[in-house]
Amino acid sequence: MIDEKLEQSEPLSPVVSEVEAKILAGNFGTPVFGYSQDILEEQANKALAFPNAYGITVRYAMKANPNSNILRIFDQVGLHIDASSGYEAERAIKAKILPGKISLTSQLIPGNGRKLIEQGVNYVACSLDQLEWYGKFFPNSDVSVRINPGKGSGGTKRTNTGGPSSSFGIWHEEIPEVLTILKKYGLNMTRYHSHIGSGSDPKVWKKVAFMNLENILKFIKAGHNINTANFGGGYKVGRMSYEKSTDLQECGEPIKQAFVDFAKQTGVELKLEIEPGTFLVANAGALVSRVVDVKSTPKYKFLITDAGMPEITRPALYGAQHPISIVQVFKSFKKECYIVSGKCCESGDILTPAKTNPEKLQPRLLPEAVVGDLVVIGGAGAYCSGMCTKNYNSYPEAAEVLIDKEDGIRLIRERQTLEQMTQNEIAVV
């Protein structure tokens, strides 16, 4: 089924110029991810300038892109880390991030959880069972708790992490049960955590922030010394030219004033924490691929590229939109309507689905392309390399490079080999 509105060709990603796209493809092969260090640092500084009344900690949601070089760049700028699993926390430590700068918020109790906490990693209890577990092993200590405030917002339903349809955090109506467990183990809750979704509506984000302050007051009245309020991330980033990005200054000013009012009411000056991921890295990355075939049916013309679900799953998963540009071998001013397809033997491996609907196709009006032309997919810094159908159809993980004006183009992850892909298999027959 075809959407009536055709998407136009987007300008080339600011991460790579035509010349750089050709260099990346020529030196490292395709597909290859390129990340701009300048844009990474620029976005980090924007996040650090988020309005706050009594101090702020910005934690990078490393699930967006866990490459150790990106972690170290953010560490050097002054960001801390939000890890979503014990493995991510270990990975951050391996990247030379100090354990005290890492916050672990996971859907399950990590097998290495006690060790990580003993090393200094900040643990956030995300369920009543997790809080019981923490209390048994670390009684009479400080603890952080994640609360589902009862409302969520995301770019799609699949990126909404708040409200009754989300399993993340402890439902706000169970705060009395939380208080019972805290008292049972002599725990002092010092940090309140909440996150409502990725690509959230700024208006909803602000509304939920006020709801969270009401919940924090309940814990303070129960005698807990909460000093930090973590309101998560999820700030909308416009990957496409027509999409609007969240203005952090506009979004944060009402929260800053709310903290001032809260301090006047309670005498408690809360430090703010935020956990952006997409905001920091999405538009700092681009995926350079190549046209490997051009096919037609009575309905559509297909551009087949050597990138797809093994590198970028968001279009197939959410109907997410990414800017797509063609770097031509031979210049042509003709335009064609294309469905841009991935390389996998999977009908869902389409890079141009309809908005938020991966079941529909939405052709793009692009420069006429031939086999050998480069296809640059923008907005590929977040939830692409780190969230892909790894090794589907036995395709290797793509190479990754860092683009820096001073130091040039540097390889930060080699392309995976077949030997690496199969090294853990054990022959028993």
Question: Is 373 within a domain?
Answer: yes
> What whole-number distance in Å separates Cα of residue 92 and Cα of residue 143?
21
**What three-state secondary structure class fits 14?**
coil
Question: Is 308 within a domain?
Answer: yes
> What whole-number distance in Å separates Cα of residue 123 and Cα of residue 130?
10
Let me know whether 243 and 332 are in one domain: no
Residue 164: per-residue pLDDT? 56
CA distances from 375 to 159, 237, 325, 407 (A): 27, 22, 6, 25
Residue 201: per-residue pLDDT? 63
Let me know whether 162 and 78 are in one domain: yes
> What whole-number distance in Å separates Cα of residue 31 and Cα of residue 24?
9
Q: Which residues pair with 365 in a beta bridge?
A: 8, 337
Let me know whether 165 and 24 are in one domain: no
Of 225, 254, 281, at which residue does a domain stop? 281
Q: Which long-range contacts (CB under 8 A, 24 or more apart) does 73-82 make?
A: 73/37, 73/40, 73/41, 73/44, 74/40, 74/44, 74/280, 75/101, 77/41, 77/44, 77/45, 77/48, 78/44, 78/48, 79/44, 79/47, 79/48, 79/280, 82/233, 82/275, 82/277
Judged against a pLDDT cut of 90, whether residue 335 lies above it is answered with: yes
Residue with tokens 């199969």: 422
Residue 154: per-residue pLDDT? 43
CA distances from 409 to 21, 234, 243 (A): 11, 30, 29
Let me know whether 28 and 83 are in one domain: no
Let me know whether 18 and 50 are in one domain: no
Let me know whether 114 and 234 are in one domain: yes
Judged against a pLDDT cut of 60, whether residue 176 lies above it is answered with: yes
Q: Which residues pair with 220 in a beta bridge?
A: none
Q: With cut-offs at 50, 70 and 90, classify the pLDDT of residue 6.
A: low
Judged against a pLDDT cut of 70, whether residue 157 lies above it is answered with: no
Total domains present in the chain:
2
Question: Is 73 within a domain?
Answer: yes
Question: Going along 331-424, which residue ranges are E strands?
Answer: 335-341, 353-354, 357-361, 364-367, 374-377, 399-404, 408-413
Question: Is 427 within a domain?
Answer: no
Residue 236: per-residue pLDDT? 86
CATH of the domain at 393: 2.40.37.10
Q: For the segment 12-28, what is each residue's pLDDT rounded down to a tens digit?
A: 888 999 999 999 999 99
> What whole-number distance in Å separates Cα of residue 318 and Cα of residue 313?
8
Residue 293: per-residue pLDDT? 98
> What whole-number distance in Å separates Cα of residue 74 and Cα of residue 64?
13
> What whole-number distance in Å separates Cα of residue 411 and Cα of residue 331?
29
CB 120 within 8 A of CB 104: no
Q: What is the mean pLDDT of residues 206-222?
A: 87
Residue 405: per-residue pLDDT? 75
Question: Is 329 within a domain?
Answer: yes
Residue 153: per-residue pLDDT? 47
Judged against a pLDDT cut of 90, whether residue 39 lies above it is answered with: yes
Residue 156: per-residue pLDDT? 47
| Enclosing domain of residue 31 | 7-35+282-422
Residue 199: per-residue pLDDT? 46
Let me know whether 141 and 264 are in one domain: yes
Residue with tokens 């430590």: 93
Let me know whether 295 and 179 are in one domain: no
Question: Is 428 within a domain?
Answer: no
* Nearby residues of 326 by Cβ (< 8 Å), 6 or more positions away: 9, 291, 366, 367, 369, 373, 374, 375, 376
> What whole-number distance in Å separates Cα of residue 67 and Cα of residue 97?
13
Q: Which residues pair with 410 in a beta bridge?
A: 402
Q: pLDDT averaged over the chain? A: 91
Q: What is the mean pLDDT of residues 246-260?
A: 90
Let me know whether 153 and 274 are in one domain: yes
Q: For the segment 265-276, what is each residue's pLDDT rounded down to a tens digit?
A: 999 999 999 999
Question: Is 402 within a domain?
Answer: yes
Question: Is 2 within a domain?
Answer: no
Q: With cut-offs at 50, 70 and 90, classify the pLDDT of residue 234.
A: confident
CATH of the domain at 54: 3.20.20.10
Let me know whether 124 and 272 are in one domain: yes
* Percent of the chain scoring above 90 in pLDDT: 77
Let me know whether 190 and 58 are in one domain: yes
> What whole-number distance in Å separates Cα of residue 387 and Cα of residue 336?
31
Which of the two residues, 243 and 78, has the higher pLDDT score? 78
Let me know whether 380 and 238 are in one domain: no
Judged against a pLDDT cut of 80, whether residue 410 lies above it is answered with: yes
Judged against a pLDDT cut of 70, whether residue 418 lies above it is answered with: yes
CB 385 within 8 A of CB 400: yes
Of 241, 257, 281, at which residue does a domain stop? 281
pTM of the model as a whole: 0.92
Q: With cut-offs at 50, 70 and 90, classify the pLDDT of residue 332.
A: confident
Q: For the segment 347-369, what is each residue's pLDDT rounded down to a tens digit?
A: 999 999 999 899 999 999 999 99
CB 377 within 8 A of CB 351: yes
Q: With cut-offs at 50, 70 and 90, classify the pLDDT of residue 166.
A: low
> What whole-number distance in Å separates Cα of residue 349 and Cα of residue 31?
15
Range of lowest pLDDT (104-113, 202-211, 404-413): 202-211
Of 281, 303, 336, at which residue does a domain stop? 281
